[in-house]
Structure 1
């Protein structure tokens, strides 16, 4: 509707040879002021050196519109132009809504454009909680809006499976696994204390019994934790109607050499320095 109103006002501007300005329409707070209102006449007053109400009268006099869409146009206050939508328009649009169903209102204004939206991206060290909920819903809404206006949207979930927190999670699972045999086995001070860690340990025990009491490394505990947590994370996302196209993990950047290549490129350009034994 705003596009239609912009067009008919724009046509009146051309007929009157008015200067081009940005036209905005607002929904009046009171029904008596119509369905849409614009202050275009007031914005023109300074350039035209004319009272806003007079400009509004000239605009209305030169408006050409479909009476089945706009029932009447009035001037209010200092020069607001108020538009009243015809009841016939709403009667006409209802069948279109019913026919279009879930696709009614879809636009292709951004057809052939692409967007990569990365959100949620909680690391699989634990389950999703209420704090993640806001981002989950905001990201879903934004992805749907982009898709609805014609974008080809890739929904991406990026997670860090190579950082210290994953190691802490693996140590936590290992400790809970060992406590099955030795209840006093020490638990990491910075470990993940949730009951889900115990559940992961029990799954490993059911499959491997006591064969992992002295492992060469904690990779199996890390992998088991990651798989378990991600399964529950995805279940939560599915419940909220969120489906990602891509799950991208940080480890893959190390495996394909992207991290090292990028570091070497930065070094060659003098963009790095060492501080306290670390490369920055």
Structure 2
């Protein structure tokens, strides 16, 4: 049930009827009713909903917006169900103030819909792929990967909640220069471990984790590949290391609450000929040309600032060429929307990739890219740059050990993805109201404590139909119900905008309103009728808060 949307639709229909009546009476004139909206005003003194119809009609009517608004109000059918007052405000807004009764149907709906409350069918089963993290399997997952994991998984949860058929995908970068350098690095570490002189290549990988990987390789194979063909030696080392690294990435992400439906290999695009076919089709269509011995894609024809190399002088395709083939493959698999979560450093790649997709005959609007800014870790008020354990960057695994999965996931989505995130380790570990995830989870645990106490006293949550919900009149009760009623709209808005940070804001507001309600209203009151009504309200709050946390991939604890 979406009580807010249903109420908006009813009021919008009433305004449309009022406009028709005012035109029939000769008070205003217009050819076509414009699209207008009813919004919830930020200032509570402006009522529950404000309509901008009069402002949009004023030009056609050749009257001031306030005069048009006054005519519309005069012709509104009276009384409108649940409407206590209608006023013309400001430059010509029509403000509706509703009585408390309009809110009450939401509470039985929440209890009935339970874990489906807030869900909808906006997506109508359309197939959507969300690709996120897709880290090079040459090292450990870092903070950027961690933020991408929390964002991507929350976006996928949101899209599922509003009726899309969602596939989560990890793109394995197991081809190209990084794998060649990976092999050279592993070979050097292998030779060093067996007492040979060897240097890490300039573009190699210096992580301590690779020393451990090579040690395990030697435990399995010994010096079997010491005197063999170097190409074979590197192939076996890379094969072993990739299997180990991908297993570790999968394990850490699962510990973070993230599981994938598809792990897609970049190398498979080359092996299947998909990259070569994509380049051939672009060349046939006139979007590839040769210069300085390399092949270039005409990205400037699609709004980019410069053209881009797709095949190097040595005949080896670039990463961009593989990316074009990969995204074509996504659409060939039948996805109607393709969503990528990338670091902000990939900003320049968006336009050229959309251009390549368009050049291959697909609507570039079907590809959406969520760009995320950097994460800075703080401890003791200072930036934490390196791990004490590895001497390198802080890994996702270490972060989970430090603050736990819930705090990490919540903190990573608290801000819009395009905002820099300052992650305070001390705050994330603290058990205080200053810690936002603790504050929200504590509200859920407090609700569960109230319900346990009621059970110990032999008091059960009554069916909503048996509770006199009209007794809920305290301002703290009304504000809490309003927030609960806003949940379906919040889910829909966050899903359509791909902005999971809206959920953390909603969760904090809901927790705050519950704490205020708890302070002002005794739930287990002596009056049995008031007690029943408040228990229904408390249970509806618990369900809503749990549903928010579930979408964020955060647990809803019953005790803290």
Give the TM-score taking structure 1 as reference length.
0.86
Q: Aligned residue for 2:491?
A: none
Displacement of 1:23? 0.9
Displacement of 1:192? 0.8
Alignment deviations for residues 180-222 of structure 1 (CA, whole Å, 9 cap, x no partner): 2227532222211111111211221121122222343211211
Cα distance change on mapping 1:56 and 1:265 into 2, 3 Å: closer
Which of 154, 159, 169 is the equivalent residue of 1:146? 159
Alignment deviations for residues 86-110 of structure 1 (CA, whole Å, 9 cap, x no partner): 3223332122123322311211133
Cα distance change on mapping 1:200 and 1:37 into 2, 3 Å: same
Kept in 1, the 8 Å contact 2:33–2:57? The answer is no
Which of 201, 213, 238 is the equivalent residue of 1:222? 238
Cα distance change on mapping 1:113 and 1:66 into 2, 3 Å: farther
Cα distance change on mapping 1:71 and 1:140 into 2, 3 Å: farther
Q: Aligned residue for 1:91?
A: 104
RMSD: 2.5
- Higher RCO (C-alpha 8 Å, min separation 6): 2
Q: Aligned residue for 1:10?
A: 16
How far apart, in 2, do the equivalents of 1:242 and 1:14 lie?
53
Matches within 5 A, 1:184-263: 184-216=197-229, 217=232, 218-263=234-279
Kept in 1, the 8 Å contact 2:46–2:95? The answer is yes
State the structure with more CA Rg.
Answer: 1
Of 59-68 and 123-132, more deviation after overlay is shown by: 59-68
Unaligned stretches of 5+ residues in structure 1: none
Cα distance change on mapping 1:207 and 1:127 into 2, 3 Å: same
SS at match of 2:104: helix
Displacement of 1:271? 4.8
SS at match of 1:192: coil
Cα distance change on mapping 1:265 and 1:37 into 2, 3 Å: closer
| Count, aligned residues | 279
How far apart, in 2, do the equivalents of 1:279 and 1:101 lie?
57
Cα distance change on mapping 1:9 and 1:244 into 2, 3 Å: farther
How far apart, in 1, do the equivalents of 2:43 and 2:216 lie?
63
How far apart, in 2, do the equivalents of 1:32 and 1:271 lie?
58
Q: Aligned residue for 1:53?
A: 66
Of 203-212 and 260-269, more deviation after overlay is shown by: 260-269
SS at match of 2:38: coil
How far apart, in 1, do the equivalents of 2:215 and 2:291 lie?
43
How far apart, in 2, do the equivalents of 1:154 and 1:49 lie?
52
Kept in 1, the 8 Å contact 2:39–2:51? The answer is yes
Q: Aligned residue for 1:20?
A: 33
Give 1 or 2: higher helix fraction. Answer: 2
Alignment deviations for residues 55-91 of structure 1 (CA, whole Å, 9 cap, x no partner): 22332343357534x4432222232211234322333
Kept in 1, the 8 Å contact 2:181–2:204? The answer is yes
Cα distance change on mapping 1:118 and 1:8 into 2, 3 Å: farther
Q: Aligned residue for 1:170?
A: 183
Unaligned stretches of 5+ residues in structure 2: 24-29, 297-560
Q: Aligned residue for 1:118?
A: 131
2:113 pairs with 1:100: yes
